[in-house]
Amino acid sequence: MNDTQPSPPRWAYALLRSMLRPSDSESIPGDLLEEYREVRRPSLGQLRADAWYVTHVLSVLWRVVWPCVVAIAALRILSFALPPGWNPSLVPAPGTSVLDALVILWAGYYGSQRTGRVSTGIVISTVTSLLGFKMFFLYAAITRPSLLLAPFENPFIFVIMAVLLGIALGFGMTAGIAGAAVGRWLPPSRWRTRIS
């Protein structure tokens, strides 16, 4: 997007392209860009037009990522219900257990098989890892709501949470890259239906 006409956020455009098969990587961004420039931007202004664009990009992302979100949510429910120790953490942070690694590896594999792009696998595995990490806080909010107030009493806890999030995302990206690399170099699956 290097022309002078109004353009949606670059990060959203890059995210959208990373989710698409090579055969769709022009047509779908082109459709959204056309609607953005011709209708949304003139009628809504930049902020709301950007929000419109991001919403539709996230809808495309959701169509790709939802099986992985279901898998990580199922793993969380299972791991909360079973006694501790059965699923050891590989790194001292939430969302970095052996089974987390397997789900994220699969997410990376699934993503890159779906589009033939390693970037799709990395994005999907990172999103899966992020949501898997957030589910710990959702669980805490439901079971011990007082824990959510702790960081406001001791702001250093925010730093600890940020570090843990960084570790979980790094873990997710690493596992995702491995899964995506495997998915990229294996023959295409049934998910990649359109060739041209």
Partner 1 sequence: METIGQFEQAVLVALIRLGKDAYGRAILNEVQVRLNRGVSAGAVYATLERLEAKGLASSTLAPGTAIRGGRARRYFVPTAAGVRALNDAKSATDTMFRGLAWPLKVRT
Answer yes or no whether residue 111 interacts with partner 1 by CB under 8 A.
Answer: no
CA distance 25 to 45: 26
Give the one residue of 9, 37, 182, 188 binding partner 1; rule: CB under 8 A: 37
Asked if residue 110 lies in contact with residue 191, where contact means CB atoms within 8 angstroms, the answer is yes
Give the one residue of 30, 42, 45, 88 binding partner 1; rule: CB under 8 A: 30
Asked if residue 123 lies in contact with residue 131, where contact means CB atoms within 8 angstroms, the answer is no
CA distance 70 to 128: 9
Count of residues of this chain found to bind partner 1 when the rule CB under 8 A is applied: 26
Site for partner 1 in 63-82 (CB under 8 A): 63
Give the one residue of 8, 15, 18, 28 binding partner 1; rule: CB under 8 A: 28
Answer yes or no whether residue 4 interacts with partner 1 by CB under 8 A.
Answer: no
Query: Which residue, 12 or 75, has its beta carbon nearer to partner 1?
Result: 12
Burial state string for 152-181 with b = 16 or more CB within 10 A and e = fewer than 16: eeeeeeeeeeeebbebbbebbbbbbbbbbb
Site for partner 1 in 116-135 (CB under 8 A): none
Tell me the closest approach of the beta carbon of residue 13 to partner 1, in angstroms. Answer: 10
CA distance 95 to 76: 9
Give the one residue of 11, 26, 42, 162 binding partner 1; rule: CB under 8 A: 26
CB atoms within 10 A of CB 143: 9
Answer yes or no whether residue 22 interacts with partner 1 by CB under 8 A.
Answer: no
Q: Please choose, out of 22-30, 102-110, 130-138, 179-187, the segment that lies near partner 1 by the rule CB under 8 A.
A: 22-30
| Interaction site with partner 1 (CB under 8 A) | 1, 3, 5, 24, 26-35, 37-38, 55-56, 58-63, 193-194
